[in-house]
Amino acid sequence: MATYTSVDSVRDALAKELCTWIRDSGLTTEEVAAKLQTSRPRVSNLLNDRLELFSIDSLVKYCWRAGKSIELTVLD
């Protein structure tokens, strides 16, 4: 299990998972956009590492729509 110490590192980890899924899926950008229920430009922004344009909330939703599970643990 990975430990993240900043919002940016959480965002980076979610984006990395999504980009790996996109590249491995063999889907076109338009097909990915349809699956994630977003626009083609948003998919392009994700693939081009424009992560400042994404909230953690939107990346979590995209992960779920891609069939990914997310586990969150809060530690003391």
Residue with tokens 């959480």: 10
The structure tokens listed for 61 are 């939703």
The distance in angstroms from the start CA to the end CA of the chain is 16
**Alpha-carbon distances, residue 7 vs 10, 14, 26, 30 (angstroms):** 5, 11, 30, 29
Task: Provide the residue ranges of all domains of the chain, joining segments of one domain with +.
Answer: 7-65
Q: For position 7, what pLDDT does the model report?
A: 85
Can you tell me the distance from the alpha carbon of 27 to that of 23, in angstroms, rounded to the nearest whole number?
A: 8
For position 37, what pLDDT does the model report? 98
How much is the pTM? 0.88
Query: Residue 21 carries which side chain, given as an amino acid letter?
Result: W
Mean pLDDT per 10-residue segment, the chain (76 residues): 80 96 96 98 97 96 96 81
3-state secondary structure of 5: coil
Q: Give me the pLDDT at residue 1, please.
A: 66
What is the CATH code for 7-65? 1.10.260.40
